[in-house]
Amino acid sequence: MNIHPTAVIDADAEIDATVKIGAYTVIEKGAVIGAQTEIGPHTVISGFTAIGQRNRIGSFATIGPPPQDLTYKNEPTRVEIGDDNLIREYVSIHRGTAHGRQLTSIGNGNMIMAYSHIAHDCRVGSHVIMANCATLGGHVQIDDHANLGGMVAIHQFSRIGCHAYIGGMSGISKDVPPFVIVSGIRNKLRITGINRVGLQRCGYDKETIRLVHNAFVYIFRTPGLLLKEALAKSADEFADCEPVMTMINFFKAPNRMGVLRRVDDE
């Protein structure tokens, strides 16, 4: 185990022998850290926090502190982080709340850039990118391969669909469907198309991307077509296309904030 002599490690923390820990880092009781993870200087890992393998955590990160929630009474809630994540400097990730999921979870292969914040009870999937200063309110769900630009702010309880791309400095107060590109602030949000480049980078073939685009036109671009009609038409025509069905099912899932649909959401 490669631990800097200035690091402060609780005797009850469970740390794999291959973990590297930088200067002045503090790891408290309840932490579990998997193999080949590297933790930079001045990082604090507290509470009941489980971190998987091969993660790289930058300096001054704070993982597992109490949630910023007035109802929190020091319940033993948790943070769970998967494998192969890059968590850069000054990132903060807070544990869950007793009235929420009791868990803040992050999947695998994510890139969480400097100064980003993941609040209590959030659920971040895998291969998500959060650019500098991106902020998630409590209870937010981010699905796989979503991409959040710098200084994006996501309102609590919102959902961001898989492969969605949110432009920098956007303020999101509604659910964002899968595969779309969105930018703007609250009542000035604009959906500008599908995330074609992101889909290509993830290996989707041209035909699948074409079908996703065609369904997008029905759902978002066809004047006078009610949402129920657009979803039914897309399901009938593209039933064999899994990504299209993912988009349709996203609209059908229960939601608290409403799903962003129009080009200009007013």
Alpha-helix runs per DSSP H in the chain? 196-201, 206-216, 227-237, 242-252
Catalytic residue among 40, 96, 121, 265: 121
Q: What pairs with residue 142 in β-bridges?
A: 124, 160
C-alpha–C-alpha distance, residues 243 and 211, integer Å: 9
Distance CA(44)–CA(162), nearest Å, equals 30
Q: Residues 138, 149, 161, 198: which is the catalytic one?
A: 138
Q: For this structure, is 120 an active site residue?
A: yes
Q: Do residues 124 and 94 make contact, with C-beta atoms less than 8 angstroms apart?
A: no
Q: C-alpha distances in angstroms, 18 versus 1, 4, 152, 174?
A: 5, 13, 35, 42
Give the active site residue among 42, 94, 120, 163: 120
Name which of 92, 44, 106, 98 is nearest 70 in CA terms.
Answer: 98
Q: What are phi and psi of 102, to 5 degrees?
A: 65, 15
Known catalytic residues are 120-121, 138
